[in-house]
Amino acid sequence: MRLWRREREADPKVEAFFRRAVAVDVNKVKEAGRIDAESRLKPLKRLARQWAKELRVPPGLAFNAIYYCVNDPNCDLDGLKERIREGGQDFIIRFLHEHGVEV
């Protein structure tokens, strides 16, 4: 979306953004390094593999369910495991749909 001069001047936030953008010296900007998320996800992957063997569900679905449960303050991992034990793969798919994930 291209903002014309009139639109930039109409909104002070947009105008401030363009003022800051002009002041950036591209030659001094550092290159962003690689973000290491692998070390943080390893315990979740290990737990997902364990649940997959124990509950007979695909490890990818188990990982997604664990990941979204850990990031949801109202979710309990032990309760999730029991509900997966009762509902299986169908429960995981419903759980992920409730959290806005397309499976």
pLDDT of 36: 65
pLDDT average per 10 residues of sequence, the chain (103 residues): 54 68 66 68 92 95 92 91 94 91 81
pLDDT at 1: 47
Q: Domain locations in the chain?
A: 38-98
Are the beta carbons of 72 and 99 closer than 8 angstroms? Answer: yes
Q: Number of C-alpha atoms within 13 angstroms, CB side, residue 76?
A: 4
pLDDT of amino acid 32: 61
Task: Return the pLDDT at 17.
Answer: 67
Predicted TM-score of the model (pTM): 0.62
Q: What tokens does 13 get?
A: 């936030």
